[in-house]
Amino acid sequence: MSAFAKLHTSVLASCSEVNSVFGLLLPQYLLVSVVMSMLSTVALILSDGAPDGFASTCALYLFVFFVPMCIVGQQIEDASRTVSVAAYRGPWLEENTATRRLRLIVMASPPARFKVAG
């Protein structure tokens, strides 16, 4: 259980480090994604439903950059919650007090997630 707790702690520390490095870039990245989608919608409406090159490029941008970022962030959060559930389902009665305490710390830790600074 000790190695498990160390691994979980290192994953949380890695997510925290990624948040500190990229946290200031994420709002700009998200803003550009929203603006590009709005501009492509306007371009699509003004072109009477026939998508032009700009609208197609914007849609491609959203599916190549924005959607995978959301999917990966959700997968990290889901996997982190799974760690907490797995710790709960472990052999509580067979463990000593120190290992139980580690198990409780893993269960009580918040799930790893990427956050926007601010």
Please enumerate, as own/partner, the contacts of 12-20 that have beta carbons within 8 Å and a separation of 24 or more: 12/80, 12/109, 12/112, 15/76, 15/112, 15/113, 15/114, 18/114, 19/114, 19/115, 19/117
Q: Around 51, how many Cα atoms within 13 Å sit in the side-chain half-sphere?
A: 12
Where are the chain's structural domains? 2-108
- DSSP alpha helix (H) spans, the chain: 2-22, 25-46, 53-61, 67-88, 97-108
Note the pLDDT of residue 118. 54
Confidence tier at 1 by pLDDT (50, 70, 90): low
| 79-102 mean pLDDT | 85
Note the pLDDT of residue 93. 85
Q: How many CB atoms lie within 10 A of CB 8?
A: 20
Note the pLDDT of residue 37. 78
Question: Cβ distance 94 to 1 under 8 Å?
Answer: no
**Cα(26)–Cα(23) distance, integer angstroms:** 6
Average pLDDT, whole number, for the chain?
Answer: 79
35-39, 50-54, 104-108, 113-117: segment of lowest average pLDDT: 113-117
Note the pLDDT of residue 15. 78
pLDDT in tens, 9-28: 777 788 788 777 777 777 77
In the 8-state DSSP scheme, what is residue 61?
A: H
pLDDT in tens, 30-88: 788 778 778 877 877 787 767 777 777 777 877 787 788 788 888 888 888 888 888 88
User: Measured at the alpha carbon of residue 90, what is the angle toward residues 87 and 92, in degrees to the nearest 5?
Assistant: 110
